[in-house]
Amino acid sequence: MKVVRALWDSWEDGAVIRDVDTGRYLDRSRLHHINFHGSRFAVRGPSITPRPPQGQPVVAVLAHGVADYRFAAQAADIVYVTPQDIDDARAVVTRLQAAQEQVGRPGPPLKIFADLLVLLDESWPAAADRRARWDELAGEPLTSDAEIFVGSPAVLAERLARWRAVGLDGFRLRPGSAADDLVAISRGLVPELRNQGLLPRVHEGATRATLRERLGLGRPANRYAA
């Protein structure tokens, strides 16, 4: 990640000048060798691609334990975690805060997203029924590293609201099936969350917002800029 992030910065914004008088397309003082030498990579750089619109694209890491938390604190913008219940969620948030302090994380704090595998239906029995059918088909019970939620969009919305209150920034929902659960998320869950004020009615700002802007991450300064 150190190499990748350095490469994203290796062209400063505004490196392309198209100066017809001097025949210069680039301002070469705004391109930088990264000269990275590590135990696994040696990369001189710069990148061949100019700095992207977000400066640094959003980096996310799925983390299951303390070592992962430390890596996420050093390298990522978003960390996906897999708490099993609300107490666990609280504990994970505390551990992630500690990891960020430990590594002396620069820049904005990690955005913490909890992963949930969701099977949604009008009612709990209908959703539970589907899970049972899947278990039977597969010949073994459905398992996941993330908590499995089975029930209605309304109940899920309440659960998300409670979990959020302990310090989570967001959620990554893994739909059990694209055909049923993805549709249930957009048609059932999203309106519920809007009603509870947990999702903006319409995306604030323009439809053109970058992902970083949407996440409130801001555009990072370039390490090479004078």
Partner 1 sequence: MTSSEPKPRKKQVILAAGFPHGSPWIAWSDPESRSQIDFSSISYAAQAAEAGKFDFFMLAEALRQREHKGEFYDLEISGRHHGLTVLTALAAVTDHIGLVTTSSSTYNEPYELARQLSTLDHLSGGRAGWNIVTTSDPQSGVNFRRGGYLPHEQRYERAREFVAAARTLWDSWPVEAVVGGQESGRFRGDPAAGSYRHRGGQFDISGRFSLPTSPQRYPLLIQAGDSADGRQFAIDTVDVVFSMYADPQAGRAFHADIRARAIAAGRDPRSIRILPGSQCILGDSVADARERSRVIARQQITPQNAIARLEQVWGRDLSGYDPDGPVPPVLASDEPGAPRYAGYTAGGRQPPAIAREWYERAQRKGLTIRELIIDVTLRHTFLGTPSQVAEQIDEAVQSDAADGYVLTGHTTSVGLDEFVKTVVPELQERGVFRTEYTGTTLRENLGLPAPAGPAPAGWEEPGEPDRG
Window of 9-17, 66-74, 120-128, 159-167 that interacts with partner 1 by CB under 8 A: 9-17
Residue among 156, 161, 88 nearest 120 (CA) = 156
| Binding status of residue 45 toward partner 1 by CB under 8 A | yes
Q: Tell me the C-alpha to C-alpha distance, in Å, between residue 174 and each of 60, 75, 113, 200, 216.
A: 15, 23, 12, 21, 23
Among the listed residues 22, 39, 143, 207, the single contact to partner 1 using CB under 8 A: 22
Among the listed residues 27, 115, 129, 169, the single contact to partner 1 using CB under 8 A: 27
Among the listed residues 1, 2, 14, 49, the single contact to partner 1 using CB under 8 A: 49
| Binding status of residue 206 toward partner 1 by CB under 8 A | no
Supply 93's token pair: 């948030």
Q: Is 209 helix (H, G, I), strand (E, B) or coil?
A: coil
Q: Between 137 and 178, whose beta carbon lies closer to partner 1?
A: 137
**Rounded to a whole number, what is the distance in angstroms from the first to the last CA of the chain?**
23
**148, HSE (Cβ side, Cα atoms, 13 Å):** 13
Q: What residue ranges in the chain does DSSP mark as E strands?
A: 16-19, 24-26, 36-37, 42-43, 60-62, 78-81, 111-120, 147-151, 170-175
Q: Between 14 and 108, whose beta carbon lies closer to partner 1?
A: 14
| Binding status of residue 2 toward partner 1 by CB under 8 A | no
Burial class for 51, CB neighbours closer than 10 Å (0-12, 13-18, 19+): buried
Q: Between 15 and 63, whose beta carbon lies closer to partner 1?
A: 15
Binding letters toward partner 1, positions 88-127, x by CB under 8 A: ----------------------------------------
Among the listed residues 1, 2, 14, 16, the single contact to partner 1 using CB under 8 A: 16
Residues found near partner 1 in the complex (CB under 8 A): 11, 15-16, 18, 20, 22-28, 31, 40-50, 137
